[in-house]
Structure 1
C-alpha cells in the first residue's frame, strides 16, 4: 500500500501549487503562444475577460508534432455558438500553421460561471491551479487555495458515470478507421488516467499532471488494475486507433472506475443541462 507522505505538486502549506508558467514554455512553442495571444485579442476583443494556457505547453513538457494547444477563455458574458465557432476556427488555423502542434482545444466559459459557488471545486480549481494566465485579469486572485482532498476529487472527476454513455455514442458514430479512432483513444485514455489518479489523490496526498506518475500513484492502491491504467497512460501520449481499447474503456475499466469513484468520494454535484 502506498504511503501518505507529502508529495510533489504541493506548496509548503500543503496546498496545490500552480503548475505552469509562461517562463516554462519551450522555445520552439513560443511563436505559437505569441500568435494565440495576439489573435485571441483580435477575435474576441472586449468580450474577452481573460485567457489562459493549460496542458503540456505551459508545463514545459510539450513535444513537437505530438502536443496540442490547450486554451481556456473567460468571457464577460455566457459564450454563444458563434463564440465557440470562432474559437474552433482560430485553433484550427494555428494547428495548420504551426507544425509544432498536433491538435487544439479551447474551453469557453463566462467569468460569472468560473467564479460561481457551484464551480468552486471544479472549473475554478482548474483555473487557479492548472491554467497559466495569457491575457487579462487572472481570476486566480479571486479564488481560494486548494488541497488534494475528497471534496476536490468528487467535484473534478465524480461524473464519469455520466460521461460513459456519451463516449459509447462517440465511438459508435466515429468512422470505422484507425485514424478516426486515434483521437478518441487519446482523449479517453487521458481522462481515465486522470480520474484514476484523483480517485487516490487524497490518500497519495499530492498533485501531478504527468500521466505516468498518475498511473503509478493509482497502481499503489489498486494493483489489480495497475496494468490497465499504465497502458492507458502510454496511449494517452502515443495513441493507437485500436477499437478493442475503446471497447475495454467503456465496457470494463470505465464502469469499474465510475462505481469505485462513487463509492469512495460520491458523485459530482449536478450541473444545469
Structure 2
C-alpha cells in the first residue's frame, strides 16, 4: 500500500503502475502486445513481459504517449530477438493510432537478477515495471529505498552519455532526428536531476514535471533548466539552442554534482 511520496508504509519504494490503471483507450494495444509477444517469442526464449511508463501508471494520453515494454529472456538477447522486437514495435505502432511510438527493451534474466544490475535494472523491474506475462521477477529481487546507492547505480553514468549526445546533435539533419534526441536528452536529464536529490527528499516519483519541481527546491539556480527539460520531455523540440543548453550547460554541471554527491556508477562490460 502506498502512503506518501511513492513509498509504502515500510519506507520502501512502492511498485508503481498496474494493469487496472491502463486507460481504456490503451487496453486494445496492451491486449495486442500480450498476444503478439506470446506468438513471436517461444516459451524457451521468453521468461516474462512487463509494461512500464505512463500506460500502466494510468496517465497516458492518446496520440501523445508511447507504449513501453520490457521482455525478459531466458538467455541474453540475440540479433534474432532484436529483429523480432523491432518487427513488433513497427506493427503495433502502425496499427494503433493512440500510441505515439512503441519501445521494446530486451534483457536476459541473468542480467536482470545479477548483482551488477541489482540497483539499476533489477530495481527497475521491481519498482517501475508492471507484469504482463510470465513469472514476475520482482519476487526474486529485494525491496528498495531511496538511497544514495540507488541514485549512483541508476544515473551515475551521465558523463559517459554527454559526448554521444553532442555527436548526435551535430549529425542531426532532420526534424525527426532532433525530436528523437530532444526526447532522450530531456527525459534522462530530468530523471537525473530528480535522483540527485532523491535521498534528501526521501521518496520516489516518475512524473517528470514533479521531478523537476522536487529538484528545483534544492537547486533553485538550476530550476529554469530543469523545467525546460521537463517541458521538452512532454513536447520534443527541434530547437538546437535549447538542446545545446541542456547538453552543454546543464549536463556537465549535473554530471559533476552527481559524482560529488553519490559517486560514479559501477562500470558495465
Determine the C-alpha separation between the residues in 2 that align with 1:263 and 1:193. 18
Are 1:11 and 2:18 an aligned pair? no
Residues in 2 aligned to 1:225 and 1:85: alpha-carbon distance in whole angstroms: 41
> With structure 1 as the length reference, what TM-score do the two structures score?
0.95
- Partner of 2:101, secondary structure, is strand
Q: In 2, Cα distance between the equivalents of 1:170 and 1:52?
A: 30
Structure 1 stretches lacking a partner, 5+ long: 1-5
Q: Equivalences for 1:71-110 in 2 at 5 Å?
A: 71-110=69-108
Q: What pairs up with 1:191-270 in 2 under 5 angstroms?
A: 191-270=188-267
Q: Which residue of 2 aligns with 1:139?
A: 137
Write out aligned runs for 1:36-115 (5 A).
36-46=33-43, 47-115=45-113
- SS of the equivalent of 2:28 reads helix
Q: Give the superposed CA RMSD.
A: 1.0
Deviations 1:70-117 (A, max 9, x none): 001100011011211210110111011000011121111100110001
The alignment's TM-score, normalised by the length of structure 2, stands at: 0.97
Which contiguous aligned blocks of 4+ residues in structure 1 show a shift greater than 4 angstroms? none
* Equivalent-residue separation in structure 2 for 1:49 and 1:58 (angstroms): 20
CA distance in 2, matches of 1:117, 1:179: 38
Instruction: Give me the whole-angstrom Cα distance separating, in 1, the residues matched to 2:267 and 2:18.
Output: 32
Q: Secondary structure at the match of 1:101?
A: coil
Offset of residue 172 of structure 1? 2.3
1:7 and 1:207 in contact (8 A); partners too: no
Match of 2:117 among 93, 116, 119: 119
- After TM superposition, give the deviation of residue 207 of structure 1 in Å: 0.4
